Structure 1
Amino acid sequence: MPHSVALDPQATTSEDPAEAVMVEPTTSNGDSQDTADGDVAMEDTTEEPTAEKAPTAATHPKKDVKLEDLFADVDSDEEFPSSRPNDVPPMSSPPAILPPFPSDVIAMNASDPEIMRAFYQRLFPWRQLFQWLNHSPTPTNDFAHREFAFTLQNDAYLRYQAFPTHDLLRKDILRLMPSRFEIGPVYTTNPRDRKTLRNSSAFKPLAKELCFDIDLTDYDEIRTCCDKANICKKCWQFMTMAIKVLDVALRDDFGFKHIMWVYSGRRGVHAWVCDKSARAMPDQMRKAIAGYLEVIKGGAQSSKKVNLWRPLHPHLVRSLEILKTHFQEDVLEAQDPWANPERAERLLQLLPDKLLNEALRKKWDSAPGRSSTSKWADIDTVAKSGVSKKLDATALKEAKQDIVLEYTYPRLDIEVSKKLNHLLKSPFVVHPGTGRVCVPIDTRALDEFDPTDVPTVQSLLAEIDAWKGEDGVGVEGVEGQKSVQDWEKTSLKPYVELFRSFVVGLMKDERDVKVKRKHEESIQF
């Protein structure tokens, strides 16, 4: 997918430098043509906003926190006790401005500043975002030295923003109202202070989640139902296949545990591998893992995109087993990729025997409209008829395996995974074109996930307006009732709860490792 380009010599991107300072035009649906679904690696083109300097996390002693208190459900707009240093007062934010009726909200544009302000103030899970990136309930440099980048409403792009607490991040978001924001690496020092360092080489990325980016536009040559930014439930199955293949490989082949898959808001998915071992990997290791998982290569439509050594690596044998049912149902039947002669010719180009190809072409020309399922079966039928005395059965079998992989295996934007200093869109931001929230995907119910059912920011705000509570629970003015957070009143609730559960597991493992290390050190001494 297209991305903006880095002007910063430290930042990397897969784009043409000639596009570095260009602002992409806006399409008729109100969506930008630039980095709508992808990573960003570019220099800031405007001055940094003058946010007040807050003390860094390192200046505050850490308090002992009980594990059971770590995951308390209290999460209101008025407190966020887990991430504010003691001497930093609560920050007041502009009041949310909501139209009085749900119908008025639905009619507004997703990028409207009033809509975005209400979303960031009332629905965005700031506390969970902080705990996810901080790996602790109290502030650390994992958060304070983390880079954030803002895309403003006028398309200005601000890089190297950093905040000691999520209260200050939230305040700056509400002040600047960016259309989206990206998350970058943890640096050796506060990114805001990079220009004050005597030795510029001392400012370098230390850690970042291992990320993967997959976009349906890279499947345009094989999907028949949609193209470009358009998607439907049928072509979304390519994303389902990709998640299944990559998730099991990352867990079984590399031992990663904390992997979060996020819908990009329009036509793709992002993976965040959050294990500490993954975050600490240098570029060379990231490139090696990306290369291990990359199978589809080559841009030209006529070129062969799968070229593999035999015997196949166990990862590919496992992938074929995962994908074989999807190939039959979601490719041959649902997409019917070789229905017309032009596309069928592409299939013939991937087969190894010219006489076999000629016999198949003659058969298909004599039966216009023959389905892809039938054409796929014809390959073996015609091969067994003896049309080619020199046909190599092993070569044919391997060619068919390659075809299955070309039409089902994940198509990665590999540059996103190879470098520490790539930025990637934050979970739970709103896609400005579709209005859909970038929600995490529950891999336990992967086949049921439908991107067209993901809530839009307008529908969420309308749900808040329409919410009446259950038997008076959480209704304002009912004495003795526990208050209900705004996100709990909406269809965003299961996604926030999924994110919270993921963060709980990540922080628990981080805490257990620290406790174990301290115990081992105490035994040594």
Structure 2
Amino acid sequence: MVGQYDENLLSDMLPLYYSKYFPVKIFCRWLSCGNSPYPLCNRELSFTLADDVYLRYISISDQKELQTQFQKKCPHKLDIGAVYFAKPSIARHDSVVLARELVFDIDLTDYDEVRTCCKEAKVCEKCWKFMVVACEIIDISLKADFGFQHVLWVFSGRRGIHCWISDYEARILDTPGRGAIADYLCLIMGGENQSKKVHLGNDNLHSSIRRALDVIDIYFEDILNEQEFIGSSDRLKAFLKLIPDDTLRNQVEKRLEKLPESSLERWKNFVAVYDSFSRENGYAMRKMKYLVEEIKIQYCYPRLDINVTKGFNHLLKSPFSIHPKTGKVSIVFKAQNAKNFKLDEVPTIHSLLDDSTAESVEHNNNMKSAVKHFQEFVFSLEKAEAMRRKTDASKNL
């Protein structure tokens, strides 16, 4: 069974995993595209070894050297950094960064104030729906609003997802440019002591926000049912703090307290009270024009770690790295298939290497599918890079 994974045996299993399953060739081709026009050796890699020994500013020249490093160092975790003007072991002293994929890190721990099924490192299929919503919203925005074409989604191996945008225009963005995109995608603002964290104003909603709400609406009732956002007295109190008008808040509280502790039923009654109040208090509602939408966004909209996106110094776990705590592979997946993603179907190093496990065949097939999708992504990226170089060459004639 998958539950038999033992972190203490990771050092024994990793050499075989790296030689048999890690897609070294296509991985190096992906990094090469991300480095272009600079050599592969200018890219920083990081290894976390046994006993949390951390090695930064590693570089490789080709596939063979990476495979040798894998067998020699046996990294428990592999992270990817930026492209420097020279080998990172030399360039780090001047900290001159030339390029890096635009990346996003979305972690379920950032949803702990709203998810009720799990906390901290624990994850289940119920709270995974938050990741589905995040993936779908961010993916379509990157493509529709910014024109990016090469967007790679990767399961972190435990409790989140990573997004890598490999378009040339994304790779060469400076810090303000990355920050502008991150800020554009962030709608939830404020710290732990702030109750209401979404403010949409009273103007017409931007098309990207309406589009995000369309995605949220697909999943909202299911998430509401499963998380029971307002299904207890404590959660109801937290919910009522999101209503800025005292009169409306009191009306909602009186109605909802009389109802059974069903979040869906309470939500429908809240919307009914809100609609009635809107019709009777037109002027007062100008400040709460989008209250229903704001609450939906606060509960379900993607929560991004914008520091990872803005900064060049943040490393991010590599696709197909093994998560040491779970043994799961950080597999690549398609955004349109996020809703079909099942945590128990993610390959583990144990199920891949031990063909006596009940999950072995399924997990091996899922690993092959993930590698195939990664290959297709890299082939598409290589074609785009070839066209870009050809166009640039013709301009210089």
Q: TM-score, normalised by structure 1?
A: 0.70
SS for the counterpart of 2:57 is strand
Q: What is the rounded CA distance, in whole Å, between the counterparts of 1:304 and 1:346 in structure 2?
A: 10
1:418-441 deviation digits (Å, cap 9, x = unpaired): 012221111101001110000011
Alignment CA distance shift 1:489-1:245 (3 Å): closer
Q: What is the rounded CA distance, in whole Å, between the counterparts of 1:254 and 1:210 in structure 2?
A: 12
Q: What is the rounded CA distance, in whole Å, between the counterparts of 1:287 and 1:422 in structure 2?
A: 14
- Pair 1:124 & 2:22 matched: yes
Residue in structure 1 matched with residue 160 of structure 2 by the alignment: 268
- Pair 1:405 & 2:297 matched: yes
Deviation at 1:191?
Answer: 1.3
Q: 2:370 aligns with which of 485, 495, 498?
A: 495
- Tell me if the contact between 2:345 and 2:366 (Cα under 8 Å) persists in the aligned partners: no
Partner AA of 1:435 in structure 2: G
Q: Which structure dedicates a bigger proportion of its chain to helix?
A: 2
Q: What is the rounded CA distance, in whole Å, between the counterparts of 1:372 and 1:290 in structure 2?
A: 32
Residue in structure 1 matched with residue 210 of structure 2 by the alignment: 317
Q: 2:380 aligns with which of 505, 513, 516?
A: 505
Alignment CA distance shift 1:510-1:104 (3 Å): closer
- Tell me if the contact between 1:180 and 1:429 (Cα under 8 Å) persists in the aligned partners: yes
Deviation at 1:192?
Answer: 2.2
Q: What is the rounded CA distance, in whole Å, between the counterparts of 1:347 and 1:329 in structure 2?
A: 18
Q: 2:10 aligns with which of 112, 120, 129?
A: 112
- Tell me if the contact between 1:222 and 1:337 (Cα under 8 Å) persists in the aligned partners: yes
Deviation at 1:380?
Answer: 3.5
Q: What is the rounded CA distance, in whole Å, between the counterparts of 1:350 and 1:107 in structure 2?
A: 43
Q: What is the rounded CA distance, in whole Å, between the counterparts of 1:228 and 1:264 in structure 2?
A: 15
Q: 2:263 aligns with which of 356, 372, 382?
A: 372
- Tell me if the contact between 1:232 and 1:452 (Cα under 8 Å) persists in the aligned partners: no
- Pair 1:176 & 2:73 matched: yes
Q: 2:141 aligns with which of 223, 239, 249?
A: 249
- Tell me if the contact between 2:2 and 2:357 (Cα under 8 Å) persists in the aligned partners: no
SS for the counterpart of 1:334 is helix
Alignment CA distance shift 1:401-1:491 (3 Å): closer
- Tell me if the contact between 2:143 and 2:149 (Cα under 8 Å) persists in the aligned partners: yes
Alignment CA distance shift 1:241-1:315 (3 Å): same
Deviation at 1:308?
Answer: 2.7
- Tell me if the contact between 1:233 and 1:452 (Cα under 8 Å) persists in the aligned partners: no
Alignment CA distance shift 1:372-1:488 (3 Å): closer
- Tell me if the contact between 1:351 and 1:357 (Cα under 8 Å) persists in the aligned partners: yes
Residue in structure 1 matched with residue 391 of structure 2 by the alignment: 516
Deviation at 1:112?
Answer: 2.2
Partner AA of 2:134 in structure 1: A
Q: What is the rounded CA distance, in whole Å, between the counterparts of 2:358 and 2:278 in structure 1?
A: 69
1:389-433 deviation digits (Å, cap 9, x = unpaired): 657344444111110110111000110000122211111010011
What is the CA RMSD across the aligned residues, in angstroms?
Answer: 2.9
Q: What is the rounded CA distance, in whole Å, between the counterparts of 2:258 and 2:65 in structure 1?
A: 69
SS for the counterpart of 1:431 is coil
Deviation at 1:303?
Answer: 2.3
Residue in structure 1 matched with residue 47 of structure 2 by the alignment: 150
Q: What is the rounded CA distance, in whole Å, between the counterparts of 2:128 and 2:375 in structure 1?
A: 26
SS for the counterpart of 1:141 is coil
Alignment of 1:21-60 (within 5 A): none
- Tell me if the contact between 1:135 and 1:507 (Cα under 8 Å) persists in the aligned partners: yes
Deviation at 1:517?
Answer: 3.0
SS for the counterpart of 1:182 is strand
Q: What is the rounded CA distance, in whole Å, between the counterparts of 1:282 and 1:139 in structure 2?
A: 16
Residue in structure 1 matched with residue 113 of structure 2 by the alignment: 221
Partner AA of 2:327 in structure 1: G
- Pair 1:441 & 2:333 matched: yes
SS for the counterpart of 1:147 is strand
Partner AA of 1:181 in structure 2: L
Partner AA of 1:127 in structure 2: K
Deviation larger for 238-247 or 376-385: 376-385
1:435-460 deviation digits (Å, cap 9, x = unpaired): 00000112232211112210110000
Q: What is the rounded CA distance, in whole Å, between the counterparts of 1:365 and 1:467 in structure 2?
A: 47
- Tell me if the contact between 2:136 and 2:336 (Cα under 8 Å) persists in the aligned partners: no
Alignment CA distance shift 1:311-1:141 (3 Å): same
Q: What is the rounded CA distance, in whole Å, between the counterparts of 1:333 and 1:467 in structure 2?
A: 30
Residue in structure 2 matched with residue 35 of structure 1 by the alignment: none
Q: What is the rounded CA distance, in whole Å, between the counterparts of 1:380 and 1:107 in structure 2?
A: 47
Q: TM-score, normalised by structure 2?
A: 0.91
Deviation at 1:301?
Answer: 5.2
- Tell me if the contact between 2:153 and 2:162 (Cα under 8 Å) persists in the aligned partners: yes
User: Unaligned stretches of 5+ in structure 2?
Assistant: none
Q: What is the rounded CA distance, in whole Å, between the counterparts of 1:104 and 1:444 in structure 2?
A: 27
Q: What is the rounded CA distance, in whole Å, between the counterparts of 2:339 and 2:80 in structure 1?
A: 28
Deviation at 1:385?
Answer: 5.7
Alignment CA distance shift 1:464-1:365 (3 Å): closer
How many aligned positions are there? 395
- Tell me if the contact between 2:102 and 2:164 (Cα under 8 Å) persists in the aligned partners: yes
Q: What is the rounded CA distance, in whole Å, between the counterparts of 1:401 and 1:104 in structure 2?
A: 41
Deviation at 1:346?
Answer: 1.6
Deviation larger for 148-157 or 126-135: 148-157
- Tell me if the contact between 2:102 and 2:309 (Cα under 8 Å) persists in the aligned partners: yes
- Tell me if the contact between 1:428 and 1:439 (Cα under 8 Å) persists in the aligned partners: yes
Alignment of 1:90-109 (within 5 A): 108-109=6-7
Alignment of 1:159-174 (within 5 A): 159-174=56-71
- Tell me if the contact between 2:347 and 2:364 (Cα under 8 Å) persists in the aligned partners: no
Q: What is the rounded CA distance, in whole Å, between the counterparts of 1:467 and 1:290 in structure 2?
A: 38
Q: What is the rounded CA distance, in whole Å, between the counterparts of 1:427 and 1:145 in structure 2?
A: 19
User: Unaligned stretches of 5+ in structure 1?
Assistant: 1-102, 470-486
Partner AA of 2:33 in structure 1: H
Q: Which has the higher contact order (CA 8 A, sep 6+)?
A: 2
- Tell me if the contact between 1:128 and 1:500 (Cα under 8 Å) persists in the aligned partners: yes
Partner AA of 1:497 in structure 2: K
- Pair 1:193 & 2:93 matched: no
SS for the counterpart of 1:112 is helix
Q: What is the rounded CA distance, in whole Å, between the counterparts of 1:298 and 1:170 in structure 2?
A: 45
